[in-house]
Amino acid sequence: MTVSSFKLDITDSAIEDLRRRLASTRLPAPIPGDPWQHGTSVPYLAELIRYWREKFDWRAEEDRLNVFPQSIVKLADVDLHCLHVPGKGPSPRPLLLCHGWPGSVFEFLEIIPRLTDPARFGGDPSRSFTVVAPSMPGYGLSFQAGQRGFGVEEIAECYVQLMEVLGYDRFVVQGGDWGAFVGTRMALQFPQNVMGLHLNLMPLRREKRAAEDSFEEKAYDDELAAWLKEEMGYYWIQGTRPQTLSFGLNDSPAGLAAWIAEKFRTWSDCDGEIENAISRDRLLANISFYWFTGTIGSSCYPYYARMHRPWPTPTGQTIQVPMAYTEFPKEMVRPPRSLAEKTFTNIRRWTVMPKGGHFAALEQPALLAQDIVEFDRQIGSRP
């Protein structure tokens, strides 16, 4: 197991190839009706493609990433890319930031400084963190052709190995999307390593229950039923036929952008306009990262594993490490605390935020960072 420093440098030829492909995009005819009713809006995507080809500055986004120290850590089963940013305060606590799909480490570029150097933002320097933010196995720079697929269980084991190689036996975990599932699995399987778990998505089972015990639980069941009916198409195809899907998305940047942008619109607190929540450059940096690394197909593997395995928190088992949950109003599903307490038995903090959605670190980095800091105060003193 070795650790090598790294900086991202996409070749000029790869950037020019992307622009050529964008210039030759063949858009579909719009289906009659509201532009977003049947999926990604054709007029929106046409404008996004034009901006991507003519105005988007990949080098500027690459520089934003390369400001942070990065490493390639060779583990037993994967060469794992990660950001490893030392905290600037006294005795910084190790914090593992876990992204999901269709995100990447580009989600964390605005929240990391708030965590590693809180004094810069008017915060308490004694509450700084040393942040480790890996690209999930199969995502971004944590992928090589022929690499085996990683599900939630393997990613959890991989992340514990990563932290131990970097010198951290005890650490806090924060995650949303797949990161919430991975963090929860880590807390279940490795409670000796996870001193605290902070989530901005609650990874509870998503089947309809036989009984509803409260108004909040009934409202959640209705919300969940609507989500399962209208929003699970991507989940089923990525969980059953990811190879078939990857031919189109790996070959067409327009197709890739349509697949990902629709999720950013649906899952963010944007009132129907992605740029109300996430800037066009931030959106395209994330999409471009998938494109240049050729990882849209491999990024689907956690879905395939999830669809063909038992739930990663086995029936009857509970998470007992201290945990916190930050509920953003436009998260895809928002279980009530009464249901969460059946799985998480040591909830220290439950915060309902005034604004934000699924991509919390991108949409509301200040709010999310502050909640992580407040949770840190509740899980024990630092050395």
CA distance 275 to 26: 24
Known catalytic membership, residue 177: yes
DSSP letters, 238-264, are HHH-HHHHHHHHHH-HHHHHHHHHHHH
Phi, psi for 136 (deg, rounded to 5):
-55, 145
The catalytic position among 220, 301, 303, 325 is 303
191 is a domain residue: yes
Q: pLDDT at position 212, please?
A: 61
- pLDDT at residue 34, rounded to an integer: 95
Report residue 96 as tokens: 């593992």
Q: What is the DSSP secondary-structure string of 195-226?
A: EEEEESS-----SPPS---SHHHHHHHHHHHH
Is 304 among the residues known to form the active site? no
383 in a structural domain: no
**Which residue, 331, 383, 311, 377, is CA-closest to 153?**
311
The predicted model scores a pTM of: 0.96
How many structural domains does the chain have?
Answer: 1
84, 159, 177, 198: the catalytic one is: 177
Does residue 291 belong to any structural domain of this protein? yes
- From the candidates 269, 358, 371, 376, give the one annotated as an active-site residue: 358
Instruction: Supply the pLDDT for residue 193.
Output: 98
Q: Which residues pair with 357 in a beta bridge?
A: 330
What range does the domain containing 153 cover? 2-378
Q: Does 151 fall in a domain? A: yes
Answer yes or no: is 337 within a domain.
yes
Q: Please report how many Cα atoms fall inside a 13 Å half-sphere around the Cα of residue 221, on the Cβ side.
A: 14
Q: What is the pLDDT along the chain (383 residues), one digit of tens a residue?
A: 799 999 999 999 999 999 999 999 999 999 999 999 999 999 999 999 999 999 999 999 999 999 999 999 999 889 999 999 999 989 999 999 999 999 999 999 999 999 999 999 999 999 999 999 999 999 999 999 999 999 999 999 999 999 999 999 999 999 999 999 999 999 999 999 999 999 999 999 877 666 667 888 888 888 888 989 999 999 999 999 999 999 999 999 999 999 999 999 999 999 999 999 999 999 999 999 999 999 999 999 999 999 999 999 999 999 999 999 999 999 999 999 999 999 999 999 999 999 999 999 999 999 999 999 999 999 977 76
139 is catalytic: no
Q: What is the CATH number of the domain that holds 54?
A: 3.40.50.1820
